Amino acid sequence: MDERWQEIERIYHAARELDASARAAFLAKACAGDPALREQVESLLAQADQHESFLKSPAIEVAAESLAKEKQLSDTPGPALEIGAMIAHYRLTEKIGEGGMGEVYRARDTRLQRDVALKILPQGMAQDVQRMARFEREAVVLASLNHPNIAAIHGLEESNGIHALVMELVEGETLAERISVAPSFSSANAGLKTGSTTREPKGLPYNDVFPIARQIAEALEYAHERGVIHRDLKPANVKITPEGTVKVLDFGLAKVLGGTGVSPVQSQDAHATDQDSPTLTTLDTQPGMILGTAAYMSPEQARGQRVDRRADIWAFGCVLFEMLSGRKAFDGETISDVLAAVLTKEPDWSVLPETTPAGIQKLIRRCLVKDPKQRQRDIGDARIIIDETLSGSPLPTSPLPLGEGGDADRDRVGISPVRRALPWGLSGLLAVALVTVLALWKFAAPTSQPFPVSFYIPPPPDTTLRQFGFSAGPVAVSPDGRQLAFSASDESGVTRLYLRPLASDTSQAVAGTEDAAQLFWSPDGGSLGFFANQRLKTVNLANGNVQTLADTSCMGGGGAWSPNGTILFLPRCQGPLNKIPSLGGNPIPLTTLGSGGDGYWSPAFLPDGRHFLYVLSSSSSTPTSIWMASLGSSEHKLVLKDAGSPYFTSGRLLFLQDGRVFAQSFDPSTGVLSGEATAIADAQAFSVSTGKVLAFQGGTMKGRLEWFDRIGNPLGSVGPVAEYQSAKISPDGTHILADVVDPTSNSWDLWSYPTAGGPGTRLTFGPGHKTFSVWSPNGKYIAYSCQSGGKAGICRKPADGSGGEETLFAFGAGVSRVNVVDWSTDGRYISFNEFVTGDPGVGTWILPLSGGRKPFQVAAVSAAQYDGGFSPDGRWLAYFSYEAGRPEVYVVPFPGPGGKFQISQNGGWLARWDKKGHLYFLTMGNRLMEADLTASGASLQVKALHPLYQLNLPSYPDPLFDVNADGSRFLVITSANPSASRSIGVLLDWESKLKGKE
């Protein structure tokens, strides 16, 4: 620094401290004899005076501003969007928002005639191929979220370079709006003077808070179960419809829309964490928005660390805090202040209303623990606490013994309405059962009336409930109603019997029960009977002893255990019921039940231990009927037609009909039903105890046609939610052929759905049922099972639905039903399964389309055979059969003759070929397997079996999948209500559903 400059500086500062009037004299003196010096100082002084604000705004602020002006050109949608403009088939009707993730419009879906919300993606993002690809992948996952408390994503549209996310339009106000207009009551704890007009922030009315919080928690729980994290939960993202339903918006969008405008090159070296933090990434950079997001950011998000579901739990805590207090848990005037508070400060707990229940205060504290490891772990647990609060008081965590307590206890002050409402012994269960509640019950006002409570229990971690459709049998409730027994398969495909006390949140596998299915309890609840590896067995739960009682080739027949120690079971599916002492002995056939059918299934004892119910099945008529008979007597009588799964308890017969559990008054001494049947649950299988606990599996029959890749990632769905029996991908992959039940006529017809989306085309129109269709090799025709007037047939018509139906083969009266399975690639053969009246076995047959069209069989039938898929080279036929007691997949040379090659190892079913010659099938645990086969001459070798992923199939009689040509995608019929089909439903106090209806 030179001396000259020091001189200038000294004089300048001295002059700055003087009034302008005094400066001239000072400068004249200080710069005497140096006019240049004086000029320089005067110049500096002039500049300082003139431009007080020079450089005062930090550079980044203004730089960003001018950059933003440029950015606006590229980030606003290219062509100006005007009201009335069309994007694909959506007409914009109103601009309803402008968020950080783009403009949002209300729009009319002109095809489906409904209003939707369109979020226009920023142009900068839409032009970034990589980001759009990533976005589209994520959008598929987000679109698969289907929950009443999550605003749905319908799809992604592109039109003239504009990309728009199509979302459910949710009417109503946001939670942020609701909180800001919440009425101001005089505060109980804010130290306000009475009559003060100061408007203190106050929370929502107490009664509103918990129903809202609960629905948010349910939405989070549902998404978390599917691995989706919201990442930007805040009151502005929660809408409340006029009906009071909460809808959480923008689920997961913070991730997929994050990093707007970052170029591909930049995104390469950007922290992965960019995607995890909504703040300052996705944001709309409007200051309010940043603050609005920052206030709900978890500390790990603020630090830019990778986040998991616990970030949502933090945000949930913030939202709950704010709903109760009207204040943000973490606040500040600037984003730095807010973030600093998030990272370092505790919320002001004193602003929570004094009336806040202790359990809720504790919950909020646990949600707002800064270290995610110490934080509330599971949003489901949060919901339990809310439920406890709603019920009035925390529920005990250990069950009351059955029968304990009396009327005096019942009326004890302080027992919660829920406890009071529940049957004895169950109140305690509730606390634990709620761990998994996806509750159907309402937030009941205090009532002394019992009311039913329903919830789902998921299978143990890493297991799948064994599907009851294939000889697994439903869950079995213990006679005292205190525990459930069920069979589930672990990841290695081993099925075991599990016990789940309702008072516990975990299930225990029972040793020695590998392959267990069709469980039934001893009347004292101390043992279970089950079927495994073609044996009837029992396990004593007290000492763990497993005893083998008898051989059986009928794994699906079910069993019953009388109070006198007699067990009923089927040694052969086609044969008579047998009785055997539960301690061991020789099975004795009960030959006096008549010969009206081919199967005597699902026995169930009546209380006298002598009479029992059973289901008579007949392949000549699909519906089954319930009969009553007695040990030691030849009497047997029809109780009810078109029904199955009989159980008697509490003076009522419970049975299954059309996918629902019904209850009807029943006199066990006369076998006569009276009164009306009342539906009490949607289910495909169930079990009931005298303790009024009903457990069920299944739920809706409705499903989706859903795509998956080879590792089980969902890739979107085709067609509507409907009841499907089968689905086939067209040879060119552009269409899906599926049979759909017409809900009005209850008949099946065939539909074709374009895989690219759009409405389906109905191909058949009665009369009768048209099901189980296949494509011709060139995709021009379809062949299907046509059943009309009691006669089965195989029909053909053009695949576009035009033209008439041609009957390829008409079956005689003996054939009750056929399922068309496949059409050979040379077009010459159609395979089908034939169900013959009087013969419970099903066979795989081939219909040649040339010559005399005389059906023939390829593989010898020693037990029921199903399927029959042609390999792409036409040389092999794959089917599965019960000849080894349980289904296994086999391949035989086509058209034969030749040896038979077993493909599956520990049970397998539903075999499908891709066009490359790989064979796919399902294990008994419904894991999708790929078989690598090599053929040499007439012999076939299994080179390798690759487990792919676990299918979550709905509770269908015939759950189906299909594979595309190159084996890269699978079309699966999945349940429209996955939690119902993957979990065990429990209905407590089902009897109260009958009140007023009998």
Residue in 24, 51, 86, 762 binding other proteins, rule: CB under 8 A: 51
Does residue 161 bind other proteins (CB under 8 A)?
Answer: no
Is 669 among the residues that bind other proteins (CB under 8 A)? no
The interface region with other proteins, picked from 23-31, 217-225, 329-337, 974-982 by CB under 8 A, is 329-337
Burial class (CB in 10 A: 0-12, 13-18, 19+), 651: exposed
Which one among 132, 335, 415, 965 touches other proteins, defined by CB under 8 A? 335
Identify the burial level of 195 via C-beta atoms within 10 angstroms of its C-beta, where 0-12 means exposed, 13-18 middle and 19 or more buried.
Answer: exposed
d(CA 852, CA 783): 18
At closest approach, how far in Å is the CB of 164 from other proteins? Answer: 16
Tell me how far, at minimum, the Cβ of 370 lies from other proteins, in Å. Answer: 10
- Least distance (Å) between residue 75 CB and other proteins: 4
Measured from the CB atom, the residue of 262 and 715 that comes closer to other proteins is 262
Nearer to other proteins, 267 or 630 (CB): 267
Q: What's the min distance (Å) between Cβ of 868 and other proteins?
A: 52
Shortest Å, Cβ 72 to other proteins: 6
For 658, list phi and psi in degrees, rounded to 5.
Answer: 50, 45
227 — alpha (psi -120 to 50), left (phi > 0) or beta? left
Residue whose token pair is 């509507």: 720
Q: Which one of 56-64, 245-253, 376-384, 701-709 is the stretch in contact with other proteins (CB under 8 A)? A: 56-64
Decide whether 13 or 853 has the Cβ nearer to other proteins. 13
Residue 341 or 986: the one with the smaller Cβ distance to other proteins is: 341
Q: Does 1 bind other proteins (CB under 8 A)?
A: yes
| Closest to 955 in 3D by CA, of 737, 739, 724, 774 | 724
CB of 290 to other proteins, least distance (A): 7
CA distance 730 to 713: 22
Smallest gap from residue 179 Cβ to other proteins (A): 24
3-state SS track over 37-98: HHHHHHHHHHHHHHCCCCCCCCHHHHHHHHHHHHHHHHHCCCCCCCCCCEECCEEEEEEEEE
> How far apart (Å, rounded) are the C-alpha atoms in residues 206 and 211?
10
Nearer to other proteins, 120 or 590 (CB): 120
Q: Bridge partners of 636?
A: 629
Q: Give which of 229, 49, 75, 219 is closest to 138, Cα–Cα.
A: 229
CB-CB contact of 828 with 849 (8 Å): yes
Q: How far is CA 801 from CA 757, 778, 805, 874, in A?
A: 18, 15, 9, 27
The answer to whether the peptide bond before residue 460 is cis (omega within 30 degrees of 0) is no
Compute how many residues bind other proteins; rule: CB under 8 A.
Answer: 68
CA 933 to chain centre: 35
Q: Which of the residues 232, 381, 749, 989 is marked catalytic?
A: 232
- Indicate which single residue of 24, 25, 28, 64 sits in contact with other proteins (rule: CB under 8 A): 64
Counting contacts by CB under 8 A, is residue 14 touching other proteins? Answer: no
333: phi then psi, degrees, rounded to nearest 5: -80, -25
Interacting residue with other proteins among 336, 634, 734, 778 (CB under 8 A)? 336
Residue 475-494 contact track with other proteins, rule CB under 8 A, x = bound: --------------------
Cβ at position 54, least distance to other proteins in Å: 5
Among 12, 627, 809, 890, binds other proteins (CB under 8 A): 12
Residue 62 as a binder of other proteins (CB under 8 A): the answer is yes
The whole-angstrom separation of Cα 254 and Cα 544 is: 52
Give yes or no for residue 791 binding other proteins (CB under 8 A): no
> Backbone dihedral region of 570: left (phi > 0), alpha (psi from -120 to 50 degrees) or beta?
beta
Q: By CB under 8 A, tell whether 75 contacts other proteins.
A: yes
Is residue 57 within the footprint of other proteins (CB under 8 A)? yes
Distance CA 342, CA 885 (A): 62
Closest CA to 776 of 823, 728, 815: 823
Pick the binder of other proteins from 21, 72, 113, 197 (CB under 8 A). Answer: 72
DSSP 856: B
Q: Contacting other proteins (CB under 8 A), which of 20, 36, 60, 358?
A: 60
124 contacts other proteins (rule: CB under 8 A): yes
Residue in 21, 35, 56, 414 binding other proteins, rule: CB under 8 A: 56
Q: Is 47 among the residues that bind other proteins (CB under 8 A)?
A: yes
User: Could you write out the DSSP letters of every residue in 944-981?
Assistant: EEEEEEE----S-SS--EEE-TTSS-EEEEEESSHHHH
Least Å distance, CB 309 to other proteins, is 21
Amino acid, res. 148: P
Q: Minimum distance between the CB of residue 508 and other proteins, rounded to whole angstroms? A: 42
Closest CA to 826 of 887, 886, 769, 875: 875
Q: How far is the CB of 411 from other proteins (least distance, A)?
A: 54
Q: In the range 269-308, which residues lie near other proteins by CB under 8 A?
A: 269-274, 280-281, 283-287, 290, 302-304
Should residue 343 be labelled a site residue for other proteins when binding is judged by CB under 8 A? yes
Kindly state the helix (H) or strand (E) to which residue 320 belongs, with its residue range: helix 309-325
Q: Which stretch binds other proteins (CB under 8 A): 126-134, 332-340, 842-850, 867-875?
A: 332-340
Which part of the chain contacts other proteins (CB under 8 A), choosing from 71-79, 579-587, 784-792, 930-938?
71-79
Would you count residue 346 as binding other proteins (CB under 8 A)?
no
Q: Which of 318, 326, 314, 386 is nearest to 351 (CA)?
A: 326
Distance CA 698, CA 753 (A): 26
Nearer to other proteins, 131 or 993 (CB): 131
> Does 232 participate in catalysis according to the annotation?
yes
Q: In this structure, what token pair is assigned to residue 307?
A: 């986040």
User: Which residues contribute to the site for other proteins (CB under 8 A)?
Assistant: 1-2, 5, 9, 12-13, 16, 43-45, 47-48, 50-68, 71-72, 75-76, 98, 100, 122, 124, 259-262, 266, 269-274, 280-281, 283-287, 290, 302-304, 334-336, 339-340, 343-344
Q: Which residues are catalytic?
A: 232
